[in-house]
């Protein structure tokens, strides 16, 4: 069974629809105590990193997700749900720019695209990923195109502990990661047509 975490900042409707298309029923979960019931967990998300962490922490969901991942539960993070796995994020509120603490399950920090990359920010639209043969799930999606919507990207601090797919948008940044039981991606597989559906199917079947 698949749990999709509801913490008030997810694109849950499109995720339900995508999993339904491949014959998978998902359950919306907002109670951290219920996560034990499920075989697989999806953490979606759109919006601000800090608000997302506030919501997850206030509901006890950040600790519950961390516990389930450390137990080896199959996990998928999407977009903001990918960024939240890292150690910190850059966020700008009023005149202050500060680092917001994430879940710390992946090594690295989330940074804002520089305005001097001469490309539109946020990145909105289709872009390809570069994978490698060491990846269990993503290796079959080398040079495939997926749908992105984001102004921030993960900056790798220690790539030896994680296996990344890479994408070029002014700079080269890690657009997806596989680490043990974690698959997480900056792009939206549920909005990425056939390739996205194939990726979700392969994640379910792993």
Q: Is 150 annotated as catalytic? A: no
Residues 6+ away with beta carbon under 8 Å from 14: 188, 190, 191
Rounded-to-integer distance, Cα 170 and Cα 55, Å: 32
Rounded-to-integer distance, Cα 88 and Cα 103, Å: 8
CA-nearest of 173, 76, 61 to 123 is 173
Give me the catalytic one of 54, 188, 195, 205: 188
Rounded-to-integer distance, Cα 34 and Cα 29, Å: 7
Give me the catalytic one of 150, 178, 185, 190: 190
- Residue 12 region by backbone torsions, left for phi larger than 0, else alpha for psi between -120 and 50, else beta: alpha
Q: Is 205 annotated as catalytic? A: no
Q: For residue 131, how many C-alpha atoms fall within 13 Å in the half-sphere facing its CB?
A: 20
Q: Is 195 annotated as catalytic? A: no
Give me the catalytic one of 67, 79, 95, 143: 79
Q: Hey, which residues are catalytic here?
A: 79, 188, 190
């Amino acid at each position: 069974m698949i749990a999709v975490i509801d913490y008030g900042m997810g694109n849950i409707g499109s995720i339900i629809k995508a999993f339904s298309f491949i014959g998978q029923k998902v359950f919306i979960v907002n109670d951290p105590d219920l996560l034990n019931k499920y075989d697989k967990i999806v953490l979606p998300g759109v919006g601000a990193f800090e608000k997302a962490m506030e919501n997850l922490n206030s509901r006890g969901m950040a600790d519950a997700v961390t516990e389930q991942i450390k137990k080896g539960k199959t996990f998928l993070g999407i977009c903001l749900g990918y960024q939240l796995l890292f150690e910190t994020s850059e966020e700008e509120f009023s005149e202050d720019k500060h680092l917001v603490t994430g879940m710390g399950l992946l090594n690295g920090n989330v940074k804002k695209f520089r305005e001097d990359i001469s490309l539109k920010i946020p990145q909105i639209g289709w872009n390809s990923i570069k994978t490698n043969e060491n990846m269990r799930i993503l290796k079959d999606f080398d040079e495939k195109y997926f749908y992105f919507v984001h102004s921030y990207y993960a900056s790798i601090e220690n790539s030896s502990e994680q296996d990344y797919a890479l994408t070029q948008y002014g700079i080269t940044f890690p657009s997806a990661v596989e680490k043990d039981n974690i698959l997480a991606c900056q792009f939206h597989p549920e909005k990425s047509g056939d390739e996205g559906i194939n990726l979700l199917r392969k994640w379910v079947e792993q």
